Structure 1
Amino acid sequence: MNSPLRPFWRPYFSFDWKLGLFLISIICIPRFYLVLQANQTANYGPIGAIMMVSALVPFVFIGRKGAAQIGVRKPSNWPALFMSFVSGLALALALYFIGDLLYSGTFQNWYVYVGQSYNIPDGISPEDKNVLFAVMAGTGMIFSPIGEELFFRGIVHGSFANSLGEKLASLIDSAAFALTHIAHFGLVYVAGGWNFYFLPTIIWVIAMFLVSLVFFQMKEKSGSILGAIICHAGFNLGMIYCIFYWL
């Protein structure tokens, strides 16, 4: 079977779990550090850059046939895209209610902590708040869903699946996704110091793991990586809406 990798990479890699592990190492470890730095400095520009890199990585390593193999193709089930969006939205709302029930308005609530990065001014007018929401929601529904899904549910999943099977690959890419998100919530920078909220972090990681599995299922149901991207976009929309209007 011909390798989906571009000819340049074939002497160095096979399309297997070793490539997947390599990609996780070169993207997720720097990303983890950059997110922690951004939370401390409030400079989130590098996060946008790492999302762009994540989106480009698959096309650096694989060509057109390889891209189709990891799901970059037209959906075979278009109605599943609507289900994908609704599923992502519902997951975000469910995670809001869990956080509100357990931790209310404290920084142990994942949405409260993530929400501080949006820098919503106190006393902002409803009109300006709506504009800011539209900007943040639009950004959140484009950059991270495309970058993360092409990376995690795309090339990382595909490389593991090629040697370990689809089910195990989905568990691995979901675990990588969930653990990477500890930098977004878990290790928190509050009032000039770092804290680690053990139980909230465990809940958050489990939630991110389960959400990732749903992203993969939406990819499978739609027959395209677009299903995962749209589900992720729905999740981000729901999360940002909750942060802006319900906290």
Structure 2
Amino acid sequence: MENELKPFWSKVFKFDWKFGLFLILILCIPRFILVLNANETANYGYIGLIMVISAILPFVFLSKLGRRKIGIIKPTNYRWLIIAFVIGFVFSILLYFLGEIFYGKSYENWYYYIGESYNIPNEIDQQSKLIMFGIMALTGMIFSPIGEELFFRGIVHSSFANSVGDNKASIIDSAVFALVHISHFGLIFMNKKWQFLMLPTIIWVISMFFVSILFYRCRKKSHSILGAILCHSAFNLGMIYCIFYQLG
């Protein structure tokens, strides 16, 4: 009987919650530390590397059966690919309005803080701004959606689902996804010191949890990991648009 894991790895692991936990520990802890370091040093090169590693892990560990099981298959419901994109974009815009209502243009606003890492010049002309937006949007719609969805909604979700079922696995992978994103906002580096923003962090983590659930639902409805990737891509597009043209 074919195993979800490649023959070498099947001698070491079972495709279950223990394997999922192993993946979380070896990737998410270093990622958390590297993102915090990037926020302090403004060197984000290693974040791209983490996304690449996240994307290739399913191909390192999983057999053809395993890759199919995590959703690396042709979608069977193309209508949901469009719906997924719309859902991701709308949620991102709603999250912008939530931050604007509560925190305005302050560092307690998640989009404002994240946007500072983009280093958008204050005196940039509209054409240059559009080009910069296009570059940031393109990279934001490719690297993290592919890497994070293949990892969280893909290999991690399916390994936990083998032990506890899809619904509980979705809660687990969404919770981990949300907590990892505290390194992007919540624990912030300001005025050469670290600060933890309690209430904004809680709102941010809850938002990341629910958008992660949406990513999973889009994967399930489209019957492919592509649904989750497109929803995530649209979310990032909306966030980057808000950073450039609403907060900027």
Matched with 1:3 is 3
Matched with 2:184 is 184
Inter-partner Cα distance in structure 2 for 1:135 and 1:63: 35
Correspondence list, 1:44-193, <5 A? 44-193=44-193
Matched with 2:243 is 243
* Alpha-carbon offset, residue 60 of structure 1: 0.6
Aligned: 1:18 with 2:18? yes
CA deviation vs aligned residue, 1:112-155 (integer Å, no higher than 9, x gap):
00001111011000000000000000000000000000000000
Matched with 1:222 is 222
Matched with 1:234 is 234
Aligned: 1:33 with 2:33? yes
* Alpha-carbon offset, residue 64 of structure 1: 1.4
Q: Is the 8 A contact 2:92 2:236 kept in 1?
A: yes
Inter-partner Cα distance in structure 1 for 2:49 and 2:167: 30
Inter-partner Cα distance in structure 1 for 2:17 and 2:31: 20
Q: Secondary structure at the match of 2:9?
A: coil
* Alpha-carbon offset, residue 2 of structure 1: 3.6
Structure 2 gaps of 5+ residues are none
Inter-partner Cα distance in structure 2 for 1:127 and 1:173: 40
Amino acid in structure 1 at the alignment position of 2:137 = A
Amino acid in structure 2 at the alignment position of 1:219 = R
Q: Secondary structure at the match of 2:8?
A: coil
Q: Secondary structure at the match of 1:189?
A: strand
Amino acid in structure 1 at the alignment position of 2:208 = M
Taking only the aligned residue pairs, the percentage that are identical comes to: 60
* Alpha-carbon offset, residue 12 of structure 1: 1.1
CA deviation vs aligned residue, 1:141-185 (integer Å, no higher than 9, x gap):
000000000000000000000111000000000001000000000
Following TM superposition, the consecutive aligned residue runs of length 4 or more in structure 1 with deviations greater than 2 angstroms are: none
Amino acid in structure 2 at the alignment position of 1:230 = L
Amino acid in structure 2 at the alignment position of 1:238 = G
Inter-partner Cα distance in structure 1 for 2:190 and 2:233: 28
Inter-partner Cα distance in structure 2 for 1:232 and 1:193: 31
Q: Secondary structure at the match of 2:82?
A: helix
Aligned residues: 247
Structure 1 gaps of 5+ residues are none
Amino acid in structure 2 at the alignment position of 1:194 = W
* Alpha-carbon offset, residue 3 of structure 1: 2.1
Q: Is the 8 A contact 2:3 2:65 kept in 1?
A: no
Superposition TM-score, scaled by structure 1 size:
0.99
